[in-house]
Homo-oligomer: A and B are copies of this chain.
């Protein structure tokens, strides 16, 4: 017998039929003798309707009272929780719904992007034991301890709810049911031979999530890593009893690296074409110049990603390159030009037809020369590398956007990630 959290996202509970399908997944686990807490998102479309109403209620002002916005939007998950409890009862499963304030899920007072501070799990555990009762918990929401106001957790918050509940009830695993069947070595639309990973380490998933992999939000992966909650990503659209060739349900386990027996050197290749490169030529090589550049960009809410600054050759000036989202390209140029006097540079140039390729793998830590292999392989294909950044388990390359697919497929093959034909 295990104790599981099962989380169903918006597309997995999009309508009543899908809620009932999700309930069948729960039924399978209940019948296997497991203790179950279900965490649900709002039905697809419901949150958008609620947000649209909030926006329409405002005509003169620009900014909502976030506490009221949260109170309105949080009802979406409350509705699903009640409906899921009804559907489970319809399958003869003892179930009850819990809203954030009922459990309670206590959060910080930052409405919109509140942080979970504490989840009370003892009552749920007692009910598992005494009543064999499935808990159905409204995701995405909590309550502030002092004000008693309803808070929401921001985008992807239901994943965070699920992992936090799993930590609170000391669950053996947190299953994330979503519209994809796991985490892939790369985007299958670009790399046809991409394959689903059976396991991936928290740190790797964190890098992938930061790079925009839509499977899970960064915060929920962080929380899983901190509390060592094993997270299993799988599709709610699979038949409830589907299994992979190894006899396991199809999906990807996000877990501690120690649990991954045969760690690949490289786990995945991510890429983004939504990048723009800005280079500042002959910047004064003196203290404070980085602050003079990136301070104004931060104030303008521009998210700077790669930063490459070479060691000055002459000890006086250097070139500095960084990337920003393509949509912020012109605004970034303007911001830097405006700060020219404070920065002190000769020339400003850039490009929007660039792509960032990232190679991720915990195995890099113990394998030297992993990046060098990439440089070699790309050179063979005559792909020019504009800039390079590296971290402990990842390196990223900036290349011309036209070579994106070629570069990603080349690296995917290079690191042995292609599935057997």
Chain A interface residues (CB < 8 Å from chain B): 16, 19-20, 50, 53-54, 56-61, 64-65, 67-69, 71-72, 75, 78-79, 81-87, 89-92, 96-97, 99, 101-102, 148-150
Contact = CB atoms under 8 A, between A and B. Distances in A.
A65 B86 contact: yes
Contacts of A71: 78, 81-82, 85, 97, 99
B56 A16 contact: yes
A90 B58 contact: yes
Copy tally for this chain in the complex stands at: 2
A130 B96 CA distance: 40
Contact of A75 (B20, B67, B79): B79
A78 B79 contact: no
A60 B91 contact: yes
A82 B61 contact: no
A167 to B, nearest CB: 23
A236 to B, nearest CB: 16
B79 A61 contact: no
A59 B89 contact: no
Given A75-B78, A78-B75, A69 B57 contact: no
A67 B96 contact: yes
5 contacts: A60-B92, A68-B86, A72-B78, A75-B75, A75-B79
B19 A57 contact: yes
A197 to B, nearest CB: 35
B72 A82 contact: yes
Query: Closest 9 interchain pairs by CB?
Result: A72-B82, A75-B75, A16-B56, A71-B82, A57-B86, A68-B85, A68-B82, A57-B87, A57-B83
Nearest to A92: B60
B72 A54 contact: no
A137 to B, nearest CB: 12
A153 B18 CA distance: 30
A91 B149 CA distance: 22
Contacts of A84: 57
B57 A16 contact: yes
B90 A59 contact: yes
Contact of A68 (B67, B89, B102): B89
Nearest to A149: B102
Nearest to A52: B16
Nearest to A54: B86
A27 to B, nearest CB: 12
Most buried by B among A20, A54, A65, A97: A65
Contacts of A53: 16, 79, 83
A58 B79 contact: no
Contacts of A20: 57, 59
Contact of A89 (B61, B83, B92): B61
A405 to B, nearest CB: 44
